[in-house]
Amino acid sequence: MKRVLLGMSGGVDSSVTAVLLQRQGYEVLGATMLLNEEQQGLDDARYVCQKLGIEYYIIDGKKEFKKYVINNFNNEYIEAKTPNPCVECNKHIKFDFFYKKAKELNCDYIATGHYAKCEYSEKYNQYVLKVAEAEKKDQSYFLYGISKKVLEHVIFPLGNYKSKDEIRELAKKMELPVASKSDSQEICFIQDNNYAKYVCKKCNICPKSGNIVIYNDGKKEIIGKHNGIINYTIGQRKGLGIAYKEPLYVIKINKDNNELVVGTEENLYKKILYANNLNFLIPIYNNMQVWAKIRYRAEKSKAKINFEKDNVKVIFEEPQRAITPGQSVVFYDDDILIGGGIIY
């Protein structure tokens, strides 16, 4: 019997995943990675494991989580970028550190409650990561950083289900106590979702006020004051505190001058972006035609990838709204995930 180490958050997705794995004939071990002192869900995860008769472990990952996720999060915001901590967490913690722990426990596979698929592709003659059937819940965007070597040892049992409602119904039929439990918050280590306050406290910095500027015919005009560039992101309209003849949005954050550059909606659209910190899961080539997403909730758009040393230049067929440094651009071949990188 193959052994699988399942990452359990105490939520409905990972709990249903445990039952599905058992039904598929795996010997399941449950584990929760302890990532911060305020972490919730351990009691629920332990209870589900007891109910299902599977071993349960708590793995201390606080040191690794701080190194790879929290420090990156703080540093990116200080550099006037908008990071995606889930991308870093999946890459370094849930599918690297966790896999190493699985091997220590003599497990053949790791599994999670992510909405994605991992299947063998005849086209590429290897295991590939694919979009989930529940497209609105699909999480493949966050998973492009997984190592190719780990991918063939990953199981995503929820990938073929159509919706989260279907998973909740399964949980009720399975009589799991977490069937009606609400989804987790957006950033797990920030309780009130106030990222600016969190970064300032952790890094002992005080945001400095600066100018909000607009360019008209190449001439810079100061039209207001901001309360610290850490509080803003590309595409933001609310909270600027300025009056103008038409709606204005943040189109650039100039860290060196402590300035917010604003413009009209049409100024937000661009056809070209550059990315680094790349990871590709299938073979690629220069000038490759792909489908690309510049953020999790964005629609996929046609684009071409051109390599420039260790970076890529991505050219879209149609202009993209609010391309944001720090976010990830992720590439697809139809429903197969090609890879991705960090926009700069």
* CA atoms of 278 and 289, how far apart (whole Å): 17
Contact 82, 324 (CB under 8 A): yes
In the annotation, is 188 catalytic?
yes
Q: Which of 223, 285, 276, 282 is nearest to 250 (CA)?
A: 223
Work out whether strand 27-34 and strand 3-7 pair parallel, antiparallel, or are unpaired. Answer: parallel
DSSP string, 244-302: -SS--EEEEEETTTTEEEEE-GGGGEEEEEEEEEEEESS---TTEEEEEESSTTSPPEE
Catalytic site residue from 86, 89, 107, 200 = 89
CA distance 46 to 9: 10
Output DSSP code: residue 170: H
Radius of gyration of the chain (CA): 22
Q: How many CA atoms, within 13 angstroms, populate the side-chain half-sphere of residue 80?
A: 16
Measured CA distances, 201 to 88, 197, 206, 210 (Å): 21, 6, 9, 20
∠ CA 127-130-134, rounded to 5°: 145
The three-class DSSP label of residue 198 is helix
SS3 237: coil
CB 342 within 8 A of CB 275: yes
C-beta contacts of 243-250 below 8 A and 24+ residues apart: 244/214, 248/214, 249/322
| Residue 89 among the catalytic residues | yes
How many whole angstroms separate alpha carbon 307 and alpha carbon 303?
13
- Asked whether 146 and 154 are in contact (CB, 8 A), the reply is yes
Catalytic hit among 49, 86, 118, 188: 188
Which residues participate in catalysis according to the annotation?
89, 188
